[in-house]
Amino acid sequence: MDYERYYRLFHLELNKDCRVSDTLSVNGLNWQWSRNITNIRIESAILNLTNAIGDVLVFDTEDSWSWNINHSGIFVVNSTRKHIDKSILPSSNMCTTWMKYVPSKINILLWRLNLDRLPTRLNLAAKGLEVPSLSCPVCNSEIENRDHLFFNCNTAASIWLLIRVWVNNGMVHFNSLSDWQVCFDNWKAPNHNKNKLYDIFAATIWLLWRYKNNVLFNDPMKRSLIFDCILLTSFTWIRTRGR
C-alpha cells in the first residue's frame, strides 16, 4: 500500500482519507501538510511519489480490477492455471509420448526419463542428497547418469545388442536417449510396427530400471533373465492392450 511505502508523507498529511485524485490540479499536486517540509528524506519521498504517479491518468469513473494475464482483462481460472504451470513446472522441447500399449506407470517412467528426472545417483547428488558413490551400481565403472545406465552400461549395451538382432529392422547403435529418438523418428515404417518397437523400447527401459534397483537393494534377479523378461513383457502388453 502507498501509505506504507510513503509513511512519512502519510503522517504529515492532514486529510488522511484523501485520494490521489483529490490532490491533483492544473498546477500539479496540492498537499495539506501539518508543517513545512525541511527534512531531506521527506523531500526525497515527495520526489519519488511524484515520479511514480506522474504518468497516471485519473478518470471520473469507478475503479475496477483488470486481469493482466488474460488478454480480455477478465479473471479466468484456466489462464491462472496455465500461468502457474509455466512458472513452476519444468519445460522441455521434447514431445511427450503416451503409448496406449504401455501401462500408465511405464509411460510416467518414460516421461521422467525424457525430462531426466529419474533418481539416478548423479541426479540425487545434484539435489544435495548424500549418496555412497556416484558409480553405476551395475558395472561400478562410470558415473550413473541417464544415458550410461540405460544405454552405455555393459549390461544395457548387451541387452540392446540382443534386441537389435531380435527385431531385425536395421536399428543402428545408439549411445543416448537423443540418439534413440532420432533413430525412432527417422525409421520409415507403418504406425503399427513403430508402436511395437516403442513397446519393446519401453519394456527394455522398465526392465533395466528394475534390474538396477534389484542390484542396489539386493533383490535377487539374474542378469541372464533380463532379455527373456523383455520379450515376455512386451508381448504381454501388445497382446492385452493392442488389437
Domain contains 121 = yes
- Angle between the 191-216 and 154-167 helix axes, to the nearest 10 degrees? 150
The residues pairing with 25 across neighbouring beta strands, listed in sequence order, are 28
| 161 and 73 housed in the same domain | no
C-alpha cell recorded at residue 235: 508381448
Domain contains 97 = no
C-alpha cell recorded at residue 40: 531531506
| 30 and 129 housed in the same domain | no
| pLDDT reported for residue 162 | 93
| 44 and 70 housed in the same domain | no
Which distant-in-sequence residues (6+ apart) come within 8 Å of 175 by Cβ?
A: 147, 151, 152
| pLDDT reported for residue 168 | 81
| 110 and 85 housed in the same domain | no
- Asked if residues 159 and 227 have their Cβ atoms less than 8 Å apart, the reply is yes
| 175 and 119 housed in the same domain | yes
| 109 and 31 housed in the same domain | no
- Asked if residues 33 and 13 have their Cβ atoms less than 8 Å apart, the reply is yes
| pLDDT reported for residue 3 | 59
Each residue's pLDDT tens digit, 98-126: 888 899 999 999 999 998 999 999 999 99
| pLDDT reported for residue 183 | 86
| 70 and 149 housed in the same domain | no
Each residue's pLDDT tens digit, 23-65: 665 556 667 777 777 777 777 777 777 777 666 666 667 777 7
Domain contains 99 = no
Distance, in Å, from the CA atom of 75 to the CA atom of 50, rounded to the nearest integer, reads 31
| 118 and 172 housed in the same domain | yes
Give the count of domains, the chain: 3
Residues (pLDDT < 70) of the chain are: 1-4, 7, 20-30, 53-60, 89-96, 220, 243
- Angle between the 191-216 and 226-241 helix axes, to the nearest 10 degrees? 140
- Asked if residues 42 and 9 have their Cβ atoms less than 8 Å apart, the reply is yes
- Asked if residues 140 and 147 have their Cβ atoms less than 8 Å apart, the reply is no
Domain ranges, residue 221: 104-241
| pLDDT reported for residue 124 | 93
φ and ψ of 190, to 5 deg:
-60, 155
- Asked if residues 147 and 176 have their Cβ atoms less than 8 Å apart, the reply is yes
